[in-house]
Structure 1
Amino acid sequence: MILAAGEELADLSNTLVYSAMAVYAIAFLAFVAEWILGSRSKVARTAAALTGEGDAAAAVPAQASPVVTVTKGGTTSVLERPRIVTRSGAPGRDDVPDGPGASGGDVRGDTYGRIAVSLTVLAFLLHLGAVVVRAVSVERGPWGNMYEFSTAFSMTVTGAFLAFLAARKNVRWLGLPLVTTVLLDLGLAVTVLYTESAQLVPALDSIWMWIHVPLAIVCGGLFYVGAISSGLFLLRDRHEAKVAAGEEVKGWSASVLERLPSSVSLDKFAYRINAAVFPVWTFTIIAGAIWAENAWGRYWGWDPKEVWAFITWVAYAAYLHARATAGWKGRKAAYLAIVGFVCFLINYYGVNIFFDSLHSYGGV
């Protein structure tokens, strides 16, 4: 009877996953509509401001700051014009404002964006329900194999996106690439990686299952958000460099890139996420070592999973060091952030599928 109930719950979990995928797909279409159907007029004005042409540039002259006078005790003092501190994604480039967002500042585009976010919230709730029901069906943490890890990972990614939105962060531009990859991840999970609900192997039956693995999922989800930001930074930074050099930029790609936050904003966003997650990833590796000592009698054995977890740690440590080094800021540091996330993916997919490892509990 208990086994039958567990199977019924597992089937319900699968139904919820497929339902979430259907809603994610509709949200994807709404995000696409936000980008495509949103007005480009505001984007055009932003581009004109960057190139120094048009009304937008005329409205904000380069030397518009007036001299300020202060009268006190019958005398007049003249204050110096305030200095403008520039910021740039590449050395020598003037400050570039953030783009208007995915919708381009258009009411219709904004409406599609709000619909997309609402659908993403609904999909997340279905997704969360699927993970929770799976946990109840197996009576353990829902991350004992690659299928469960993948569903929990993509749920964490979506949850992080919605949490940033709830905190009133300007991150709706993340919606389209994020929902796209969540759909791909769930599609891979329910086809290639799917595993029937089952109990854990003895080595995994530990309290550390509730510490090490969830932390790895959270770190991976946030590292992914940072990787998307770094990738978009590289695209936006190249676009800004062309504009600053006076090159003519046209087409849909230019329209999309001009709506994104500036390269500086994207770079800072990625850095803050990666810097905040790095200490947690460090603790995750330490927790895994403690778990290994409890399970196998040694803290570190250079198992492929341990090796790639360490390589991932080194990659992000190099990224943070690069950010603190003048010659490695900007594009070079962004490449390191992307390399770090690729190492995380190898640690997850590569080790579980292609390596002979004590950690190969993929079930595929």
Structure 2
Amino acid sequence: MNLLEISKQAFVIAFLLYCVAFCFYVVTITGKTWKNRDPQLHERKWGRISFITSTLGLITHLVYVFTRWVWSGHIPVSNMYEFMTFLSLMIILAFTILYLIYRKSLLGLFATPLAIVVMAYAAVFPKDVQPLIPSLNSIWLYIHVTLAAAGDAFFAVGFAAGLMCLLRTIDFKGTDKSARRQKLWLEITFYSIIIVVGFIVSVFAFRASGYEAIFTSNAAQGNDAGQVSVAKEIYNLPPIVAPHGSHLESTDSFLGMSKPLVEVPSWFKGVNAGRKTNTIVWAFITGTILYGLLRFIIRKPLSEAVAPALKSIDADDLDEISYRAIAIGFPVFTLGALVFAMIWAQQAWGRFWGWDPKEVWALITWLFYSVYLHLRLSRGFHGRKASWLAVLGFMVVMFTLVGVNLIIAGLHSYAGTD
């Protein structure tokens, strides 16, 4: 068995251990209400089991990183599969650090599923080991990407604690305008998370079925308009949105769908713009169906169904954990995503700043968390206000990581799907 196979197996084992750890964290929190149980003794026992399991997952995850690193000759962060897998590793590492400080098992109830979703999302992308392109072949790859991912991971834990704080403090029985607005936005947050899950479900479902649709289009080569090549674009999801100016060469049947409904606008730029847009549409369709099924089964908003599990948790502790996580992540992100990134950009492209979409959104992320810390320290933003900022901030982070790579064309497009 070669190192690459060991790496692939370590990825699967780490994923399964995180799933088991999440189940244990559920037992840790919900089991305290069982009859004839000492709540503190139960939480200590199962909290220890849960933490050991997630730590074993972290160790196995590190085995994945090092074996793939040795096999490829570079740190595995050069494409979407590798980077998102590395991000999930850093999320668990950030959670582990904060757990050792605060000893709050409940944080694992949100941090582990977040890492699981990120790993599942990573598995959607091609897993082949590819040689580094020239602009990535630098020591700054190790410094820039590693620190940026570590900063994002602490922001993710801050998001998890902030979301828990909102679930703990929002009055779900309130009928005034403010309470209704708070409940609505919290449910929108849960819906957004389900959309990501929907994306993963739709891709894996159609991939397992072997679905394929092929589009062809003519494209000019170089500056000579007389030289034309045939470009081929392969869909693994039923084509609702077709590439601009393309012809459907072949498609598998799905619910009688024989042709796309619309064509992507010509101003949608970037590699595989039609396929990426189609994937986003399917993510919303599948996510909405999943959300509707969950609402039908639970018979109440998802946020309201989760909230009772947090009754015994001190909201001030959650608020403090969220702040500490962001306070740790901010300087790490500043160094990795901005300072060292600009140094690398100067060496690779001959300029410190070029208004590339990824650079712009990294700056927006940095400015957002700068405002968060300013409001927290100088304006007394605590509790619910700070938690909303932590949740919104991570939405900005995820758009920077995912939306920019999959939607907007730029110099960082090499981190896309193929």
Mark the structure with the bigger radius of gyration.
1
Deviation readout 1:63-114 (Å, 9 max, x if unpaired): xxxxxxxxxxxxxxxxxxxxxxxxxxxxxxxxxxxxxxxx982434543332
Displacement of 1:327 after TM fit?
6.6
Conservation of the 8 A alpha-carbon contact between 1:239 and 1:254: no
Conservation of the 8 A alpha-carbon contact between 2:32 and 2:43: yes
Please say if 1:193 is aligned against 2:245: no
| Pair 1:155–1:104, CA change in 2 (3 A) | farther
Listed as ranges, the matches of 1:254-265 within 5 Å are: 255-260=308-313, 262-265=314-317
Which residue number corresponds to residue 266 of structure 1? 318
Conservation of the 8 A alpha-carbon contact between 2:150 and 2:333: no
* C-alpha distance in 1 between matches for 2:172 and 2:43: 24
TM-score, with length taken from structure 1: 0.73
Which residue number corresponds to residue 352 of structure 1? 405
Which residue number corresponds to residue 111 of structure 2? 178
Identity of aligned residues (%): 35
**Relative to total residues, which structure has the larger strand share, 1 or 2?**
2
* C-alpha distance in 2 between matches for 1:203 and 1:131: 22
Which residue number corresponds to residue 299 of structure 1? 352
Conservation of the 8 A alpha-carbon contact between 2:163 and 2:391: yes
* C-alpha distance in 2 between matches for 1:104 and 1:268: 27
| Pair 1:357–1:40, CA change in 2 (3 A) | same
Which residue number corresponds to residue 127 of structure 1? 61
Which residue number corresponds to residue 148 of structure 1? 82
Which residue number corresponds to residue 314 of structure 1? 367
Conservation of the 8 A alpha-carbon contact between 1:239 and 1:257: no
Displacement of 1:41 after TM fit?
7.8
1:203 corresponds, among 123, 135, 153, to: 135
| Pair 1:286–1:23, CA change in 2 (3 A) | same
| Pair 1:116–1:328, CA change in 2 (3 A) | closer
Conservation of the 8 A alpha-carbon contact between 1:315 and 1:337: no
1:287 corresponds, among 340, 350, 365, to: 340
* C-alpha distance in 1 between matches for 2:411 and 2:137: 14
* C-alpha distance in 2 between matches for 1:355 and 1:109: 46
Displacement of 1:210 after TM fit?
1.5
Conservation of the 8 A alpha-carbon contact between 2:369 and 2:393: yes
2:148 corresponds, among 199, 203, 216, to: 216
Conservation of the 8 A alpha-carbon contact between 1:39 and 1:106: no
Give the residue type in structure 2 aligned to 1:177.
F
Deviation readout 1:44-81 (Å, 9 max, x if unpaired): xxxxxxxxxxxxxxxxxxxxxxxxxxxxxxxxxxxxxx
Deviation readout 1:160-192 (Å, 9 max, x if unpaired): 22223334x2221111211112122111212x1
TM-score, with length taken from structure 2: 0.64
Uncovered stretches (5+) of structure 1, i.e. residues with no partner: 43-102, 243-250
* C-alpha distance in 2 between matches for 1:33 and 1:324: 36
Conservation of the 8 A alpha-carbon contact between 2:152 and 2:329: no
* C-alpha distance in 2 between matches for 1:269 and 1:113: 18
Give the residue type in structure 2 aligned to 1:324.
L
Displacement of 1:254 after TM fit?
5.6
Which residue number corresponds to residue 46 of structure 1? none
Conservation of the 8 A alpha-carbon contact between 1:309 and 1:347: yes
| Pair 1:332–1:106, CA change in 2 (3 A) | closer
Conservation of the 8 A alpha-carbon contact between 1:211 and 1:287: yes
* C-alpha distance in 1 between matches for 2:59 and 2:380: 44
* C-alpha distance in 2 between matches for 1:193 and 1:160: 24
* C-alpha distance in 2 between matches for 1:276 and 1:115: 27
| Pair 1:254–1:26, CA change in 2 (3 A) | closer
* C-alpha distance in 1 between matches for 2:81 and 2:38: 38
Please say if 1:276 is aligned against 2:208: no
Displacement of 1:362 after TM fit?
2.1
* C-alpha distance in 1 between matches for 2:171 and 2:328: 28
Deviation readout 1:279-325 (Å, 9 max, x if unpaired): 22222201111111111111111000000001101110111111134
* C-alpha distance in 2 between matches for 1:259 and 1:218: 30
Deviation readout 1:18-39 (Å, 9 max, x if unpaired): 1111222222222222222223
1:24 corresponds, among 18, 23, 26, to: 18
* C-alpha distance in 1 between matches for 2:307 and 2:359: 42
Secondary structure of the residue aligned to 1:259 is coil
1:10 corresponds, among 4, 13, 35, to: 4
Conservation of the 8 A alpha-carbon contact between 2:135 and 2:348: yes
Which residue number corresponds to residue 216 of structure 2? none
| Pair 1:108–1:193, CA change in 2 (3 A) | same
